[in-house]
Amino acid sequence: AKCLEIAEKKKESETEKLKEIRDYAIEKIIAEFPNSSLNGDKEMRLPNNINICFPGIDSEFITISLDTLGFAVSYSSSCRTLKEDSSSYVIQALGNRHCSMSSLRFTFGRESEKSDIDKLVTALHSVIK
């Protein structure tokens, strides 16, 4: 009950902080990678989650490469099961059929900072040629 009480007290401020980091990440990644595009609506989404299409990349390879650099990302939507192939029916349903296998999902948390996004973008540049 105490944990729920603390979470409820912090919910609004945490949500605002995460939205700020999320929006910064969207703007920074889209600016640095002009061929990339946001999957889904910019505003009507969770405050801590983005999914970005990088046409022509092997998102599974990029996920593994980023992992070796200390970044945990995913290469599909969270709605895909391990029994399915790498394509994402959720991304296809959002209208990005060409990106169902070229998307990366980024999730941010309480400890995330804008400086982490800057480091992520640098890492993305090193693995996306």
Active-site residue list:
79
- CA-wise closest residue to 32 among 52, 51, 18, 58: 52
What SS3 state is found at 99? helix
Q: Do residues 103 and 94 make contact, with C-beta atoms less than 8 angstroms apart?
A: no
**Contact of 32 with 124, CB cutoff 8 Å:** yes
3-state SS assignment for residue 26: helix
Beta strands in 4-79 (DSSP E): 37-38, 49-53
Q: Which two tokens stand for residue 128?
A: 């996306």
Helix (H) or strand (E) holding 90: helix 89-93
